[in-house]
């Protein structure tokens, strides 16, 4: 091999043979050869910072000097004049993963052909690696239950790239932490841990390239010790869903809000009557940036929905089992003409009703029925309502099944304040519980309808003698009321014998009305007499001059109730009133403070066939038959129970309710005594979830604060906030909650 040649030169060669005697042969024929040149230096070398510890290089294919280019040698250094080889590749790109963050490097590339000829080094390329995120600060860890710890930390500052995620590390010592998850937010609930155990945590910030910060200082927390309370019961539940829309319910009306077209879908409460699950026509919810913004953006809609209950759970998802009715197609008194009193300053110009005419829609709250006739309650969001009476023996979409009543305008002949939520009957009269109106604010004005008289004013005009009112709220314009705080109720209950209980939502006074007018038998003539109304503030329980309360919780949290239920124990000896907690809005907050403290009070006893009332305001401790036995229980305590499932959520998933308990926020209640297989049990009161992630039932035979009396089931993740009540099929143990948006759910309890 001739190694003394120069690249690119042509050389001529001949060969002469020589034997052992030094004799030479003639010279061979002359042959020539040109020595190949080395490859050209790779061009367009580009170095790009891909991460804090990663650089990506690319270059053009080197030109061959005669032999094929096989390899590329990659050189790196911290200066252009001091480069060392870091790799050899066959392709025209290279990823260097041995660099340091925020450091400047220089790269060059040399091509090598099949003859090991090397090109000149390329021109150097300069690059500075990325700077990783800063370390997350203010990491805190706190026990959330016996099996979970909640972590929070402050957002980390980004380096060269923004922070995208956080890696959470956990261990049983600060020196041995292992990554357990990656999250996008600055909080994390670590679940399914061992009780009474100390865990250590650290957090690293990660940018979009995967660069990690230094780990935060480790913090520790110890899971709670399980309570000594008896285990709760796991409630077995099967679900089905249906999403009503114009695509599966032919002809379903629509409305336009702003520039967006919505289906007329949005319900609150309902009832099961004559084989139909009826969903009250309520509002269309386009949403909002806060809870109250969403409420204020909602628009009243008039479409009722009915499900054929004979199809039970399996048929719930089939559109063929559903029927709708547009109540705006009905006729009513003065339709299309604003009532006197609803003009001027009393016309607040709702989005879909700019002239403040009385319209159908916006029915809310558990409502009364007498026989076949159902009386959906006009909600306070519709300040110009049409009251309805629906004969449930007829189809939901049969116009002849409906009667209408239009109340006179504000401050004319039926009081200053309007706006209701829920209604109840004593068998003859329907009482509409006052809540509020956007026109005149909170209301204490009860409307009462006598079911023995004609409902409608369609033909007669004005009000009929069947309708009366009494405003419980004392104001300068209504000095004959009961109390200045006797207003803003969202639930009402009847004990079945004598008293009607108005349950406070925005205020704190329970008001009890005596339908016997102070006598020994029913006497409706005392409806407008303030002396027949007694008030009681449950937030004062346990304080001087008020009844004592047993249980766990804080009596000051006995507020924000949006449901109630009267129920007897299994022996039919003690009658209770349950109060269902939802939320309060302190200082007119835009988002609710969810409530979790339930209450119950004994309101009656039975001896033989003789019913006796129990005074809920009584401080007496004897005889035992006359004591109200107030009880309360903060349901968030259930998360400390030994039977609590570690995979169950502890906090709300909705950002506007961030940090609040998932075991809080129910609206309305029902009574159940059997499951779907026909197994019977003592009466239980169930709470319909609104914001709560759980449906709960309480065995009436247990104290409210006895955890073994509670039954718990987690609801589906896409269950809609804002759900209030709904129909209940007692024979088949199916609850039909009524939400303001799709999907609708049916829950069957096993």
What pLDDT, in 10s, does the model give residues 141-195? 999 888 999 999 999 999 999 999 999 999 999 999 999 999 999 999 999 999 9
Q: How far is CA 221 from CA 141, 193, 218, 329, in A?
A: 6, 12, 10, 62
Q: Are 295 and 157 in a shared domain? A: no
Q: What is the pLDDT of residue 128?
A: 96
In 642-749 the beta strands, taken as DSSP E runs, fall at: 666-674, 680-689, 694-699, 710-714, 726-729, 734-737, 744-749
Residues 574, 277: Cα–Cα separation, whole Å: 31
Does some domain include residue 702? yes
**Does residue 569 surpass a pLDDT of 80?**
yes
Residues in CB range of 377: below 8 A, 6 or more apart: 363, 364, 365, 367, 420, 421, 422, 423, 432, 433
Q: Given the DSSP bridges, would you call strands 233-234 and 710-714 parallel, antiparallel or unpaired?
A: parallel
Judged by DSSP in three states, 391 sits in strand
Q: Which two tokens stand for residue 47?
A: 């170095």
Residues 578, 599: Cα–Cα separation, whole Å: 6
Q: Are 722 and 741 in contact (CB under 8 A)?
A: yes
Closest CA to 534 of 618, 415, 418: 618
Closest CA to 462 of 344, 335, 353, 334: 334
Does some domain include residue 61? no
Q: How far is CA 507 from CA 73, 83, 442, 504, in A?
A: 80, 78, 9, 6
Q: What is the pLDDT of residue 33?
A: 84
Q: Which residue has the tokens 């507020």?
A: 559
Provide the CATH number for the domain around residue 480.
2.130.10.10
Q: Are 162 and 282 in a shared domain? A: no
**Does residue 747 surpass a pLDDT of 80?**
yes
Q: Which two tokens stand for residue 1?
A: 């091999």
Q: What is the pLDDT of residue 658?
A: 86
Provide the CATH number for the domain around residue 177.
2.60.40.10
Q: Regarding predicted confidence, which is higher, 657 or 30?
A: 657
Mean pLDDT value of segment 441-445: 96
Residues 505, 487: Cα–Cα separation, whole Å: 9
What pLDDT, in 10s, does the model give residues 20-39? 889 888 888 988 888 788 99
Q: Are 427 and 364 in a shared domain? A: yes
Q: Are 182 and 259 in a shared domain? A: no
Q: Are 243 and 171 in a shared domain? A: no
Residues 380, 384: Cα–Cα separation, whole Å: 9
Q: How far is CA 155 from CA 133, 137, 163, 168, 655, in A?
A: 10, 7, 9, 13, 17
Q: What is the pLDDT of residue 653?
A: 86
Q: Are 439 and 584 in a shared domain? A: yes
Q: Which residue has the tokens 């002239």?
A: 355
Answer with the one of 225, 258, 291 that is the final residue of a domain: 225
Q: Are 674 and 588 in contact (CB under 8 A)?
A: no
Closest CA to 686 of 736, 721, 651, 636: 736
Q: What is the pLDDT of residue 678?
A: 96
Closest CA to 471 of 462, 461, 460, 482: 482
Does some domain include residue 32? no
Answer with the one of 197, 225, 253 that is the final residue of a domain: 225
Mean pLDDT value of segment 368-397: 96
- Within 13 A of 704's CA, how many CA atoms are on the CB side? 26
Q: Are 533 and 624 in a shared domain? A: yes
**Does residue 53 surpass a pLDDT of 80?**
yes
Assign 482 a pLDDT band (cuts: 50, 70, 90).
very high
Q: Which two tokens stand for residue 629?
A: 């036995």
Assign 547 a pLDDT band (cuts: 50, 70, 90).
very high
Q: What is the pLDDT of residue 12?
A: 82
**Does residue 703 surpass a pLDDT of 90?**
yes
Q: What is the pLDDT of residue 288?
A: 92
Does some domain include residue 206? yes
* Structural domain span for residue 217: 137-225
Q: Are 570 and 433 in a shared domain? A: yes
Does some domain include residue 520? yes
**Does residue 462 surpass a pLDDT of 80?**
no
Q: Are 446 and 491 in a shared domain? A: yes
Sign of the alpha-carbon dihedral angle for 546, 548, 554, 559: negative
Q: Regarding predicted confidence, which is higher, 430 or 640?
A: 430
Answer with the one of 174, 199, 225 that is the final residue of a domain: 225
Judged by DSSP in three states, 543 sits in coil
What pLDDT, in 10s, does the model give residues 10-21? 888 889 889 888
DSSP 749: E
Q: What is the pLDDT of residue 352?
A: 83
Assign 303 a pLDDT band (cuts: 50, 70, 90).
very high
Q: What is the pLDDT of residue 8?
A: 81
Sheet of 666-674: strand order equals: 233-234, 710-714, 694-699, 680-689, 666-674
Does some domain include residue 91? no
What pLDDT, in 10s, does the model give residues 54-87? 999 999 999 998 899 999 999 999 999 999 999 9
Q: Are 338 and 295 in a shared domain? A: yes
Q: Are 202 and 267 in a shared domain? A: no
Does some domain include residue 265? yes
Closest CA to 131 of 108, 163, 154: 163
List alpha helices for 598-695, DSSP H. none
* Number of structural domains found in the chain: 2
pTM of the model: 0.83
**Does residue 1 surpass a pLDDT of 80?**
no
Mean pLDDT value of segment 439-461: 92
Sheet of 237-242: strand order equals: 237-242, 744-749, 734-737, 726-729
What pLDDT, in 10s, does the model give residues 570-609? 999 999 999 999 999 999 999 999 999 999 999 999 999 9
What pLDDT, in 10s, does the model give residues 93-105? 999 999 999 999 9
**Does residue 461 surpass a pLDDT of 80?**
no
Q: Are 569 and 637 in a shared domain? A: yes
Q: DSSP for 242-262? A: E---TTTSTT--EEEETTEEE
Residues in CB range of 710: below 8 A, 6 or more apart: 232, 233, 635, 638, 696, 697, 698, 699
Q: Which two tokens stand for residue 411?
A: 């401050």
Does some domain include residue 13? no
């Amino acid at each position: 091999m001739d190694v003394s040649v120069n690249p690119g030169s042509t050389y001529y060669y001949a060969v002469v043979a020589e034997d052992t005697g030094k004799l030479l042969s003639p010279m061979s024929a002359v042959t020539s050869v040109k020595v190949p040149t080395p490859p050209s230096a790779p061009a367009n070398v580009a170095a790009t910072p891909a991460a804090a510890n990663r650089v990506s290089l690319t270059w053009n294919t080197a030109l061959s000097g005669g032999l094929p280019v096989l390899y590329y040698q990659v050189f790196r250094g911290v200066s252009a004049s001091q480069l060392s080889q870091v790799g050899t590749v066959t392709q025209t790109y290279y990823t260097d993963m041995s660099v340091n963050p925020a450091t400047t490097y220089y790269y060059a590339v040399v091509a090598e052909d099949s003859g090991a000829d090397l090109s000149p080094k390329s021109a150097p390329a300069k690059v500075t690696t990325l700077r990783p995120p800063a370390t997350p600060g203010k990491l805190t860890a706190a026990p959330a239950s016996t099996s979970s710890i909640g972590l929070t930390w402050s957002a980390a500052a980004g380096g060269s790239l923004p922070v995208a995620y956080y890696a959470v590390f956990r261990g049983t010592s600060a020196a041995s932490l292992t990554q357990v998850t990656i999250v996008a937010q600055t909080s994390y609930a670590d679940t399914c841990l061992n009780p009474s155990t100390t865990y250590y945590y650290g957090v690293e910030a990660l940018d979009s390239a995967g660069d990690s910060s230094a780990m935060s200082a480790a913090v520790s927390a110890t899971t709670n010790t399980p309570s000594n309370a008896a285990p709760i019961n796991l409630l077995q539940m099967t679900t089905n869903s249906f999403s009503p829309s114009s695509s599966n319910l032919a002809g379903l009306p629509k409305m336009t809000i702003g520039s967006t077209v919505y289906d007329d879908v949005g319900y609150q409460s309902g009832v099961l009557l004559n084989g139909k699950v009826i969903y009250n026509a309520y509002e269309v919810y386009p949403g909002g940036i806060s809870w109250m913004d969403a409420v204020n953006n909602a628009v009243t809609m008039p479409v009722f929905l009915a499900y054929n209950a004979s199809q039970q759970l399996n048929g719930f998802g089939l559109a063929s089992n559903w029927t709708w009715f547009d109540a705006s197609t009905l006729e009513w008194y003065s339709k299309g003409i604003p009532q006197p009193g609803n003009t001027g300053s009393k016309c607040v110009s709702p989005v879909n009703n700019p002239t403040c005419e009385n319209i159908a829609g916006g029915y809310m709250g558990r409502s009364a029925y007498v026989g076949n006739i159902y009386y959906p309650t006009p909600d306070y969001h519709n300040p110009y309502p049409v009251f309805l009476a629906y004969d449930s023996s007829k189809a939901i979409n049969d116009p002849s099944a409906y009667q209408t009543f239009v109340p006179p305008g504000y401050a004319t002949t039926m009081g200053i304040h309007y706006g209701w939520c829920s209604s109840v009957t004593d068998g003859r009269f329907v009482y509409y519980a006052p809540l509020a109106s956007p026109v005149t604010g909170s209301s204490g004005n009860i409307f009462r309808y006598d079911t023995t008289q004609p409902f409608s004013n369609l033909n007669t005009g004005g009000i009929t003698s069947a309708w009366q009112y009494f405003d419980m709220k004392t104001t300068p314009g209504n000095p004959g009321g009961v109390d200045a705080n006797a207003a803003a109720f969202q639930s009402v209950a009847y004990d079945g014998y004598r008293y009607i209980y108005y349950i406070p939502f925005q205020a704190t006074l329970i008001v009890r009305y005596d339908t016997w007018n102070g006598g020994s038998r029913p006497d409706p003539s005392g409806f407008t007499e303030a002396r027949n109304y007694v008030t009681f503030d449950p937030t004062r329980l346990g304080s001087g001059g008020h009844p004592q309360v047993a249980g766990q919780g804080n009596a000051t949290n006995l507020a924000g109730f949006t449901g109630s239920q009267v129920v007897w124990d299994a022996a039919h000896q003690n009658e209770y009133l349950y109060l269902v907690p939802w939320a309060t809005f302190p200082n007119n907050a835009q988002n609710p403070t969810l409530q979790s403290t339930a209450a119950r009070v004994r309101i009656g006893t039975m001896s033989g066939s003789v019913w006796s009332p129990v005074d809920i305001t009584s401080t007496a401790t004897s005889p035992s038959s006359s004591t109200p036995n107030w009880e309360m229980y903060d349901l968030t305590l259930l998360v400390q129970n030994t039977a609590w499932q570690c995979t169950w959520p502890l906090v709300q998933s909705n950002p506007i309710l961030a940090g609040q308990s998932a075991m809080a926020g129910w609206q309305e209640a029902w009574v159940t005594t059997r499951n779907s297989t026909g197994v019977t049990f003592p009466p239980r009161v169930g709470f319909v979830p609104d914001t709560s992630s759980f449906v709960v039932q309480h065995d009436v035979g247990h104290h409210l604060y006895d955890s073994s009396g509670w039954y718990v089931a987690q609801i589906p993740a896409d269950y809609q906030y804002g759900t209030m009540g709904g129909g209940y099929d007692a024979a088949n143990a199916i609850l039909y909650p009524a939400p303001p948006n799709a999907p609708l759910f049916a829950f069957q309890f096993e």
